[in-house]
């Protein structure tokens, strides 16, 4: 799935703009655009909104969040007030559910009081950085906060995989991420071509079973 940096680069190229021309549209310099496209920096909320408005795309599209499969995001505009209301209600629900105080939430996220109030009582659209802080503070999945999934937390198996992944060195992590991306693309392509069964059979040959599947059922 495309991420923020991919989307920015794609939108710039679709408009046949150089990084310098793109930057001038939004009051930033070429080097900043380069940092955005490499993923080394991210635009603030105001710049994100300006990009969305200029290219007529939704914030979900820009962030690479696919909420509704098959939707034409190029012509879709997110209802920011509705999203922000849903977002803050989820945060407040989780704070109450976990018996946290607002001070606890503020401390765990590292937000200032004004930032916290903007999320709990205002209509603030979350930046990627803030989304990460909030998910960590509330021990909840980003998919749940973004209303992509009803599952609040990752499974124990996913948690185990994350723990193993975090023990890897940087080179190993980069390889695993790249490999996962390749497998996702291959799997999606197989489904689209109606060849998922064949693809799954090939995967089984690559990773033979232990022979215990189905026993004791």
Q: CA-CA distance, 181 to 173, in Å (whole number)?
A: 12
Structural domains of the chain ordered from first start: 4-75 (1.10.260.40), 80-145 (1.10.260.40), 156-206 (no CATH)
- Give the mean pLDDT of 16-36: 93
* pLDDT number for residue 62: 83
Q: How far apart are CA 11 and CA 52, in angstroms?
A: 10
Closest by CA to 3, choosing from 39, 54, 52, 32, is 39
CA atoms within 13 A on the CB side of 87: 24
Give pLDDT, residue 105. Answer: 94
Question: Measured between alpha carbons, how far apart are the two ends of the chain, in Å?
Answer: 37
pLDDT tens-digit map of 86-128? 888 889 989 998 999 999 999 999 999 999 998 888 878 888 7
Q: DSSP E strands: which ranges in the chain? A: none
- Give the residue, 110 or 200, on which the prediction is more confident: 110
Task: Indicate the pLDDT class of residue 153, thresholds 50, 70 and 90.
Answer: confident
Q: What proportion of the chain, given as a percentage, has pLDDT over 70?
A: 65
Q: How many CA atoms lie within 13 A of 8 on its CB side?
A: 27
Please tell me which residue, 171 or 206, carries the higher pLDDT value.
171
How many other C-beta atoms can be found within 10 angstroms of the C-beta atom of residue 44?
11
The dihedral through the CA atoms of 137, 143, 147, 153 has a sign that is: negative
**Which residues, other chains included, contact 146 with Cβ-Cβ below 8 Å and sequence gap of 6+?**
65, 67, 87, 131
Angle at alpha carbon of residue 10, lines to 195 and 186, rounded to 5°: 15
CA distance 120 to 88: 5
* Residue-level pLDDT at 214: 42
Residue 200 vs residues 2, 22, 120: alpha-carbon distances, Å: 25, 43, 45
């Amino acid at each position: 799935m495309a991420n923020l940096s991919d989307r920015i680069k794609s939108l710039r190229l679709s408009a046949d703009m150089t990084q310098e021309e793109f930057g001038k549209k939004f009051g930033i310099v070429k080097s900043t655009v380069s940092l955005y496209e490499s993923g080394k920096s991210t635009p603030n909320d105001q710049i994100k909104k300006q990009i969305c408005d200029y290219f007529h795309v939704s914030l979900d599209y820009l962030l690479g969040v696919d909420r509704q499969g098959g939707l034409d995001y190029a012509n879709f505009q997110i209802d920011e007030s509705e999203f922000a209301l849903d977002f803050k209600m989820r945060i407040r629900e989780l704070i109450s559910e976990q018996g946290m105080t607002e001070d606890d939430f503020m401390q765990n996220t590292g937000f200032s009081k004004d930032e916290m109030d903007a999320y709990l009582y205002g209509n603030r659209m979350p930046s990627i950085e803030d989304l990460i802080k909030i998910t960590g503070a509330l021990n909840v999945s980003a998919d749940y906060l973004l209303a992509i999934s009803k599952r609040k937390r990752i499974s124990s198996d996913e948690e185990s995989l994350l723990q193993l992944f975090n023990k890897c060195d940087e080179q190993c992590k980069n390889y695993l991420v790249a490999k996962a991306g390749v497998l996702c693309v291959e799997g999606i392509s197989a489904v689209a071509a109606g060849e998922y069964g064949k693809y799954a059979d090939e995967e089984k040959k690559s990773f033979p079973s232990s022979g215990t599947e189905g026993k004791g059922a």
